[in-house]
């Protein structure tokens, strides 16, 4: 089985405009959740979100191209640029042809969609911009990343709700192992902070008006966020041949479907994906030191995910550390699996587990070590990153230390 490693990282998140800023905030337990500033909150019941502040797309993008990109695409192109620069990869003609762009998003160009529906229905516009379709389409992020950086290998997006980025990274792993490509630029992006987006989530009654407290007794829901994260993956031999630095190894991936309810997740489905990831990685559950949990802070997810971890890890569940970084960066929907994979990789590299902040006392059915409020130094052999999505779509990634 071909070994696949992580050689580059990029991020633009509610915690910072690059990887160093984002990782510093995660280690320090700083929250990116705050009052909404990107739009009027007059018609909103919930007035908090995890926004990306200070992003200036013209610093990384051709100003002439910006009007043709939705914000989720702009974020993806920015994060991909940082990841590629970090990797030191030279995308000459041959390398570019053997490099894939595989990104995830749950919604795609929601800002463009909302803006144009407003023009059509509220303002009575008779004509819309001819490139609305190319801004709205979920695959726009992959298209623009490949165009911006000259990547000519396979390019596409995966959309599976909040498991989108996890599934995208898993697909990249499969293609690398199969020898179809040598390099993958993979991850996810989301920019869903719009009036229409918020109202749909308010209707579900899963948003908190306070803050995100995963696994706590007084948790009251999730916080919507935006951002992007990208990983550069390579076959180990390919990375060694060019002298690349290696952050961690992507050991395996697992997926499952609950085949049950659309909104409420299943403990059995989540456990099946975790077991599948461990089987694919060919490692025993006793080696798992850390689980980056899906950890949304909702009444339904947290005890269910806790039970999934128990089922998958057995006695090791009580010995492993579990934390939800959504407590800091919010729920990035289709990009959640990417920012959380990045956090997991850096936790392995630095032997430092990011905390679950805002933790008070454990909720009913939540009986694991959730690394409350402060980061913890710990050597990590194997770590799992969970993404459990609406529709019962589960993705789990297994990472390990790169020896």
3-state secondary structure of 196: helix
Catalytic residue among 192, 331, 358, 366: 331
Report strand pairing: 352-353 vs 376-377.
antiparallel
162 catalytic? Reply is: yes
Catalytic residue among 167, 238, 294, 358: 294
* Residues 6+ away with beta carbon under 8 Å from 219: 208, 212, 213, 297, 298, 299, 302, 363
* Residues 6+ away with beta carbon under 8 Å from 391: 160, 161, 262
The C-alpha atoms of residue 304 and residue 10 are separated, in whole angstroms, by: 31
157 catalytic? Reply is: no
Catalytic residue among 162, 212, 321, 366: 162
3-state secondary structure of 102: strand
CA-based R_g, the chain, Å: 20
Contact between 307 and 363 (Cβ < 8 Å): no
The C-alpha atoms of residue 295 and residue 310 are separated, in whole angstroms, by: 15
What tokens were used for 273?
């994906």
Main-chain dihedrals φ then ψ at residue 394, nearest 5 degrees: -115, 135
Contact between 221 and 211 (Cβ < 8 Å): no
What residues are labeled active site?
A: 162, 294, 331
């Amino acid at each position: 089985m071909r070994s696949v490693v992580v050689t580059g990282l990029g991020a633009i998140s509610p915690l910072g405009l690059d990887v160093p800023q984002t990782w510093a905030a995660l280690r320090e337990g700083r929250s990116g959740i705050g009052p909404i500033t990107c739009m009027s909150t007059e018609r909103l019941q919930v007035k908090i979100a995890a926004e990306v502040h200070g992003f200036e797309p013209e610093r990384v993008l051709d100003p002439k191209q910006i009007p043709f990109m939705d914000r989720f695409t702009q974020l993806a192109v920015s994060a991909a640029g940082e990841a590629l620069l970090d990797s030191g990869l030279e995308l000459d003609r041959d390398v570019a042809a053997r490099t894939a762009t595989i990104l995830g998003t749950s919604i795609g160009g929601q800002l463009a969609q909302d803006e144009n529906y407003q023009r059509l229905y509220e303002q009575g516009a008779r004509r819309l911009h001819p490139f609305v379709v190319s801004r709205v389409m979920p695959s726009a992020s992959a298209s623009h990343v490949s165009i911006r950086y000259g990547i000519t290998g396979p390019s596409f997006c995966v959309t599976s709700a909040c498991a989108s980025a996890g599934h995208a990274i898993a697909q990249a792993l499969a293609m690398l192992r199969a020898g179809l490509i040598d390099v993958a630029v993979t991850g996810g992006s989301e920019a869903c902070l719009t009036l229409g987006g918020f109202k749909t989530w308010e209707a579900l009654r899963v948003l908190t008006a306070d803050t995100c407290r995963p696994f706590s007794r007084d948790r009251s829901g999730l916080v919507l966020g935006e951002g992007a994260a990208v990983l550069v993956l390579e076959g180990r031999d390919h990375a060694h041949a060019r002298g690349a630095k290696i952050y961690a190894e992507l050991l395996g991936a697992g997926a499952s479907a609950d085949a049950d309810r659309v909104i409420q997740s299943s403990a059995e489905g989540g456990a099946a994906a975790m077991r599948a990831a461990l089987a694919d990685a060919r490692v025993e559950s006793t080696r798992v030191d850390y689980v980056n949990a899906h950890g949304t802070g909702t009444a339904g997810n947290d005890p269910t995910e806790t039970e999934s971890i128990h089922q998958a890890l057995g006695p090791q569940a009580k010995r492993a550390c579990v934390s939800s970084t959504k407590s800091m960066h919010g729920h990035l929907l289709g990009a959640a699996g990417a920012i959380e994979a990045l956090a997991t990789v850096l936790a392995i590299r630095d032997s430092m587990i990011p905390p679950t902040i805002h933790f008070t006392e454990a909720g009913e059915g939540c009986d694991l070590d959730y690394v409350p409020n402060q980061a913890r130094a710990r050597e990590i052999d194997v770590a799992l990153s969970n993404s459990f999505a609406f529709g019962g779509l589960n993705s789990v990634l297994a990472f390990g230390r790169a020896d």
